[in-house]
Amino acid sequence: MVFGQVVIGPPGSGKTTYCNGMSQFLQLIGRKVAVINLDPANDSLPYECAINIEELIKLSDVMAEQSLGPNGGLVYCMDYLEKNIDWLESKLRPLIKDHYLLFDFPGQVELFFLHQNAKRVVMKLIKKLNLRLTVVHLVDAHLCSDPGKYVSALLLSLSTMLHLELPHVNVLSKIDLIESYGKLAFNLDFYTDAQDLSYLQHHLDQDPRSAKLKKLNKELCEVIEDYSLVNFTTLDIQACHSEREKKNVEFNSYVTYHIEFAAVQEKYMKDDELDSLIRQSISLSLRPTPSLVPIEWLASQPP
């Protein structure tokens, strides 16, 4: 049984920085970790890369040879990776014996809520290599300073969760910079819990850009609340670096653990007991506030 994270999010949300920090944290606590770069446009990596998609395909080459822009080029690269999934599988097999896996994906959000290729890549790896993966979806915290952008981030997170159908953690990254964007309309808990969005209506109505869309804004907020799946945890990667230097890490990203717990228990439980546990886990994961554990717990579990 192999565990890992699928790290996604819009451009500039801090995915590569997160992978770098997480890999250092895991190494500090004695875990073997492998970072897999699946972004064919990321040619400046701060971490040691175990597998790099640029060995297979490069975005710059695709754009030149296929006369595509960056967005179309990334879709092409993911299609090419899916068709050559055996290449990635062969690279991963030596690592899955004792490594924790971090997949650093491109920042094109359409790949994760609209197109199927990236999802099929992940699902094929899960099936062929028996992986247990959690999605870590990073969103820049500065979006909280604009009600319209915040609602957009909620819709993106919800769409991605429903599309990928994997255990999912939404993270507000760069939380240390949020004060530099101005005073928030509400306290931070309002934005992390993502409930009672009706309070945003007044602020949205005051914005001349969205004042004509009152009914649409109301309906969008109700859709998010009706699903009641999206919430956020906050992350300041610089604070984690400081604590790591003191060897007293406080890394409070939260990860749902029900899938992995069921997998660990599988060998010890009867079929009917396991079915009951899985149903209970799914039920808990659909609550507005799911059961959460610190990521240190997940990282400390044996591979």
Angle CA 70–75–81, to nearest 5: 120
Please state, in angstroms and rounded to a whole number, the distance separating the CA atoms of residues 279 and 273.
10
Radius of gyration over every alpha carbon of the chain, rounded to an integer in angstroms: 20
Q: Are strands 33-37 and 49-52 parallel, antiparallel or unpaired?
A: parallel
Tokens, residue 136: 């870590």
What's the pLDDT score for residue 117?
93
- Residue 215: how many other CB atoms lie within 10 Å: 8
- Can you tell me which residue has the tokens 């190494």? 27
- Name the burial class of residue 257, with classes exposed (0-12), middle (13-18) and buried (19+) by CB atoms within 10 angstroms of its CB: buried
pLDDT digits 0-9 by tens, 67-118: 999 999 999 999 999 999 999 999 999 999 899 999 999 999 999 988 999 9
Q: What is the mean pLDDT of residues 268-285?
A: 52
pLDDT digits 0-9 by tens, 140-199: 999 999 888 999 999 999 999 999 999 999 999 999 888 888 888 889 999 999 888 988
Please state, in angstroms and rounded to a whole number, the distance separating the CA atoms of residues 135 and 103.
9
In terms of Cα–Cα distance, which of 171, 294, 295, 186 is closest to 236?
171
